[in-house]
Amino acid sequence: MNGEEFSSNKTQVDFQKEYASFGVYDLENDLHMSFDFPYLPLSGYFLITNSGLSNSSYVHMGVHYNGNFYNVKNDLANFVTAENNGGKSKIIMDPTWFKGYFEPNDSVLVSCEFNEP
């Protein structure tokens, strides 16, 4: 995030009846995402959204950086890629701008790679 690199084995996965969520949860710096189906995808491209719309081609994503919350800057303009990593999900996001939720003029550049534990 913003030129700082973070690595963590503290990923959490949550499977519910209608969605699956995945992320690293920390009070200062975290990144989390949820998909509108009850499993993590093993392939495909998913548009990043801020909306509450439910759609199997979307991923809902948020970022905490230095204690501030950020949403994707351009709704439905960027995506994550899901890949099969030995039967588990690997999620990749190329550098994407996120804007401050409470301070829209603040922004962070984020890229990530998540590997399902």
Per DSSP (E only), the strands in the chain are: 11-15, 20-24, 30-35, 44-49, 58-65, 68-72, 79-85, 88-100, 107-115
Query: Is the pLDDT reported for residue 82 higher than 80?
Result: yes
Residue 76 inside a domain? The answer is yes
Residue 75 has what DSSP assignment?
A: T
Higher pLDDT pick, 52 / 86: 86
Query: Is the pLDDT reported for residue 2 higher than 90?
Result: no
pLDDT at 1: 64
pTM across the whole model: 0.85
Q: Which domain holds residue 41?
A: 11-115
Residue 35 inside a domain? The answer is yes
Phi, psi of 8 (to 5 degrees): -150, 145
User: What's the average model confidence in pLDDT over 23-41?
Assistant: 83
Residue 16 inside a domain? The answer is yes
- Exposure of 86 in the CB half-sphere (CA atoms within 13 A): 3
Q: How many CB atoms lie within 10 A of CB 97?
A: 14
Residue 6 inside a domain? The answer is no
Q: How confident is the model at residue 85 (pLDDT cuts 50, 70, 90)?
A: very high
**5 neighbors 11 (Cβ within 8 angstroms):** no
Per the structure, the count of domains in the chain is 1
Residue 103 inside a domain? The answer is yes
Query: Is the pLDDT reported for residue 65 higher than 80?
Result: yes
User: What's the average model confidence in pLDDT over 52-56?
Assistant: 78
Residue 1 inside a domain? The answer is no
